[in-house]
Amino acid sequence: MTSVWSSEQILALAPDAGSIKNGKALATASKWQNLGGTDRALWGECQGSGKTPYQAQIDLTEPAFRCSCPSRKFPCKHGLGLFLLNATQVQLFTQNTPPPWVQEWLDKRSQASEKKEEKQKAPVDLVAQAKRQQKRSEKVSAGIADLELWLQDLLSRGLADAQSQPYGFWDGMAARLVDAQAPGLARRVRDLTGIANSGQVDWASELLTALSKIHLIIQGYQRLDSLEPGMAAEVRSQIGWTTSQDELMSLYHQGTATTQQDQWLVMGKSLTEEAVSNLQTQRIWLRGETSGKFGLILNFAPRNQPLDVSWVPGSLVPAELVFFPGSYALRAIAASREDTQQPQAINGDDSIVAAIDRYQQALIQNPWLERFPLLIKVTPVYYEGQWSVQDSQSNSLPLALADLRGWQLLAMSGGKAIDLMGEWDGQVLRPLGLWRDGNFWQANYGEVWS
C-alpha cells in the first residue's frame, strides 16, 4: 500500500485551524497502535483520556471518516492525524486485514450506496409533481407581482432615499417572498440593505446593479414560456426552485440529463456562512482535464455540522458528473467516480486576459453568475498596501486577501509564477489553492468567506 495524498491536501480537509494543529500533533507513531491499511481503508487506535483507545478509520475511496471519539468536528483530529501519519510513514501500516469494526463500517457504506442508487432509479410521480409545481407557481406569481410594485416604488423615490430606509423595509419584502416560496429572490432583497448602508463611495452604482438583476429575473419569469429550456431553468433557479439530487439522478437514469465523463481536477474549496439562516455553504470547484469544463459541487449544512470531505483539493478524480439544469451548466453531482489520483501537470490559463474571457463568456450565458473559478499562471505582487497577482504580460487582478495571508501566499510562491486558483466575483479574486513545482498548497486555510 502506498499513500496517494500529500500532507497539504489532507490538511485542506480540516474544518478549522484548531483541527489542523491538533491533527499534526497526533501524526506521531507513538500515539497509535494496531495500524493497518488496504487499498480501500486505513485504521488505527489512538489512546485518549479514557481507558479505551479511540478507533479511527478512513474509507479511501472518497475519502470518508469515522471515529469513536465524542468530537463533533468532521474530520476530527484523530482522523486527520491518522491520515497525516499514513502520508508520511506508510510503512507503519502493517496490518492488511481490516478488523471487524472496520469491515462492518465498510459493508454498511456499500449497502447504503446500493440503496441510494435503487431509490434514484425509481420512477417519478409526474402527476403529483405537476400539481405541486402548479400550486407553487401561483404563490410565486403573486409574490413577484408584489416585488415588481415594490421596486417601482423604490425607484420612483430615487436611490438616495434607500439609505434612509430601516431594516424592516427590506426584510418585510424579503419575508413576503419567502412566504411566496421564492427564497432566491428573498436573499437578493435582503442583500440590498447591506449595499445601501455599506458606506462605499460607489454604493449607488452597486445598488442599481443589484436591482437590475432582480428586475431581469422578474422579466424572465414573466416570459418563461418563450425562453429556451436552459434559460428558463436558470430563471426558475434564481427565484428559488430547486432540483433535488434524487430528481437529477432520475433524469440521468432516463438519459435526459447533461453529463460529462472526465478526470476532474479538484481546484479548491471555499466556505461561506449566512447569519440569518445559520447555514454554511461549501463550494468545491472542479475542472475537466480533457474537456476543460468547470464543475461546482455545492453542499449545505447547519453551522458547525460536517460537510463533504470526499473531494480532496489538488487531486484528480475520474468521474461522471451530472449537471443541474441552467443556462450555463456549472453545478453538478457525481453519478460515478473512481479512485483519487494525483495530477501529472496543471495547465492553467497563461494570461489573465484568457481567464477573464472565460468569465465573460459564462456571464453572457448567465447574467446572475456570482462566482466563477479562475486558474491562472501568475505571480503574487504587493504594491501600495494592496495584494494582486500579475501574469507574464503584466496584466493584474486584485486579491481579496488579509495582509498576513498575502505574505504567506508570496512565501509559498517563492516569488515565482505559480498556478493559482481562486473565486472571481467580477471585482476581486479570492485565492483558494496553488500549485508550485507540481505540489498543491491551500491558500485559504479553510477560512470562512463572509
The pLDDT value given to residue 3? 61
The average pLDDT across 242-269 equals 92
pLDDT digits (tens, 9 = 90+) for 397-441: 999 988 888 898 999 898 889 999 999 999 999 999 999 888 888
CATH number for the region 256-337 comes to 2.40.50
> How are beta strands 439-442 and 448-449 bridged, if at all?
unpaired
- pLDDT tens for 42-88 read 999 998 877 899 999 999 988 899 999 999 888 999 999 999 999 99
Q: Examine the pLDDT at 450 and tell me if it is beyond 60.
A: no
The three-state DSSP-derived secondary structure of 346-409 is: CCCECCHHHHHHHHHHHHHHCCCCCCEEEEEEEEEEEECCEEEEECCCCCEEEECCCHHHHHHH
> Across all residues in the chain, what is the average pLDDT?
90
Residue 268, pLDDT above cutoff 60: yes
Report whether 269 contacts 283 (CB < 8 A): yes
> Each residue of 5-36: pLDDT tens digit?
788 889 888 888 889 999 999 999 999 999 99
Strands (E), 14-86: 32-37, 41-46, 54-59, 64-67
